[in-house]
Amino acid sequence: MTPARTTAVPRPAGSADDLLPTLPGSWYTDSRVFAREREHLFEALWICAVRAADLEGPGAFRTVQVGRESVLVVRDRDGGLGAFLNVCRHRGARLCTEESGTVRRTLRCPYHAWSYDLEGRLVAAPHFPRMPEAVRAGRGLVPVRLREWLGYVWLCLADEPPSFEDTVIAAVTERLGDPAAVERWDIERLALGRRVTYDVRANWKLLVENFMECYHCAVIHPELTGLLPEFAEGYAAQYFVGHGAAFARDARGFTVDGGAGFGRLPGLTAEQDRRYYAVTVRPQVFVNLVPDHVIWHRMFPVDADRTVVECDWLYAPEVPASGADLERSADLFHRVNTQDFAACERTQLSMGSRAYRTGGVLVPSEHHIGDFHRWVAARVPAPGDADAGTGPGAS
C-alpha cells in the first residue's frame, strides 16, 4: 500500500519560495518568551508526566515539573492515581522535594507537619484539633486533572483542559493514519528495559524541530541511516501519514549493528513489521515504534536554554525479565539521542548571535517545521517590540 502523504513532496524549483523563514533567534533565548511558552503551552495543554508503572503500590509518588508548577502524582489505596499541586495549603511549603518515593499513609509537610491523605484531603494539623470541618475540607491539596493513556500519566493544569481525544489522541492518529494502529503495540503492557535522562543545553523547540526533520539524518546518524536507508534522502518518516520507514534488506533487527533484536510484539500486523514509525505529540512527547520495542521520550523544559529529556525503552515484559542483554537494542537510539542533542546544543550556541537575529531558513524537506512554528506563534503572545524584539518570522 502506498502511504498517503500529508503534502506533496516539495520539488525544489530553485526559487526563493523554497526557503521559508524560521522563528527569530530571540524565541530560543529570551526568558520572557520562555515564561509565555510555559504559561500558554505547558500549563494549557496535556503533558505526559510519568509512567504509571513507576508508581507501584499505595503511597508511591513522583514529583514532576509542569510549566512553572511542581506536581505530585500519587498512587492511592485503591490503586488509582491522583495528581496535586505540590504545595502545602498551610503556608505554602513544597510538600515533597524528592523526585520519587513512597509514603505509608499520609503526605506530611516537613514544615509544621500538616498531613494529607493519599486522596489529598487534609487529615491532621498539629495543635489545632478543633479546625472546623468546613475549613479542613477547603484546605486539601489542589487537584490537577489526570488521564492515563498508553501506560503514561498525562496532566493538564488548565481550568478547562482541551479535549484529550482531540489533541493527544488525534495527534497520534493523524500521524499513524488509523486510531487503532498505536494500540497494536499494547504499550501499557510493556516493561521498562532502560531509562536514560538527558540534560540538554538547548531550547525545547530546537529538540522538537530536530525530531521532526531528517535533513540531518545522513550527516549525523550513520547507524540509523544504515538501518533505514530512505532516511538518507532527507525526508523524515513523520512527513507522511501512516508511513513507517522500511528496514534495510540485510538488517535483522532495530539494533545498533543491524543484528537480531527480539521477537515481534504479538499485536503487530505484518505491515508494521520491519518498519520504524515516529510520532510527535506537541508540545513534549516523541515516540518511536519498532517491531520489538517502543522508545518514549518526555521532554521537560527547565529554562530557555535547557531541557531535560527522560527516555524510556519499553519491551515485552518477558524480555527484560529473562535477563536478555538489551545493550545492542537500546544503544541504537541512545546514540541517535546523543547525536541529536549535540546538534541541538551546537545550534543553541548561536541563537543569541546577531547573525540569527531574524532567524534562519527551512529547506523544502523541513517546510512542515513551519507548521510547528505557526502552532507556537498562534498560542504564545509575541513579545512586544518594547520588551523582546522581533516577533515570529514564520507566521
Question: Whole-number minimum distance, CB 114 to ligand FES, in Å?
Answer: 4
Per-residue H/E/C for the chain: CCCCECCCCCCCCCCHHHCEECCCHHHHCCHHHHHHHHHHHHCCCCEEEEEHHHCCCCCEEEEEEECCEEEEEEECCCCCEEEEECECCCCCCECCCCCEEECCCEEECCCCCCEEECCCCEEECCCCCCCCHHHHHCCCCCECEEEEECCEEEEECCCCCCCHHHHHHHHHHHHHCCCCCHHHHCHHHCEEEEEEEEEECCCHHHHHHHHHCCCCHHHHCHHHHHHCHHHHHCCCHHHECCCCEECCCCCCCCCCCCCCCCCCCCCCCHHHCCEEEEEEECCCEEEEEECCEEEEEEEEEEECCEEEEEEEEEECCHHHHCCCCCHHHHHHHHHHHHHHHHHHHHHHCCCCCHHHCCCCEECHHHCCHHHHHHHHHHHCCCCCHHHHCCCCCCC
Nearest to 207 by CA among 291, 137, 284, 262: 284
Identified binder of Fe ion from the candidate list 340, 359, 369, 393, rule CB under 5 A? 340
121 binds ligand FES (CB under 6 A): no
Q: Which residue is nearest to Fe ion (CB)?
A: 340
Smallest separation, CB 349 to ligand FES (Å): 42
Of the candidate spans 15-23, 48-56, 88-96, 201-209, the one that interacts with ligand FES by CB under 6 A turns out to be 88-96
Structure-block grid coordinates of residue 315: 519491551
Which of the stretches 36-44, 265-273, 292-300, 335-343 binds Fe ion when contact is defined by CB under 5 A? 335-343
109's contact among Fe ion, ligand FES, none, with CB below 5 to 8 A by partner kind, is ligand FES
Cβ proximity to ligand FES, 116 vs 313, nearer residue: 116
Q: Least separation, in Å, of the C-beta of 4 and ligand FES?
A: 55
Phi, psi of 103 (to 5 degrees): -110, 160
Among 21, 39, 43, 90, binds ligand FES (CB under 6 A): 90
Among 97, 111, 143, 179, binds ligand FES (CB under 6 A): 111
How many residues make contact with Fe ion (CB under 5 A)? 1
| Least distance to Fe ion, CB of residue 360, Å | 17
Query: Which of 71, 81, 85, 88 contacts ligand FES by CB under 6 A?
Result: 88
| Under rule CB under 6 A, residue 93 binds ligand FES | yes
Q: 142 or 342, CB closer to ligand FES?
A: 142
Q: Which is nearer to Fe ion, 131 or 342 (CB)?
A: 342
Residues 212-271 that bind ligand FES (CB under 6 A): none
Binding status of residue 306 toward ligand FES by CB under 6 A? no
* Contact of residue 150 among Fe ion, ligand FES, none (CB under 5-8 Å per partner type): none
Total binding residues for ligand FES by CB under 6 A?
10
Q: Which is nearer to Fe ion, 122 or 299 (CB)?
A: 299
We find the least distance from the C-beta atom of residue 93 to ligand FES, in angstroms, to be 4
Give the footprint of Fe ion on this chain (CB under 5 A).
Answer: 340
Give the footprint of ligand FES on this chain (CB under 6 A).
Answer: 88, 90-93, 109, 111-114
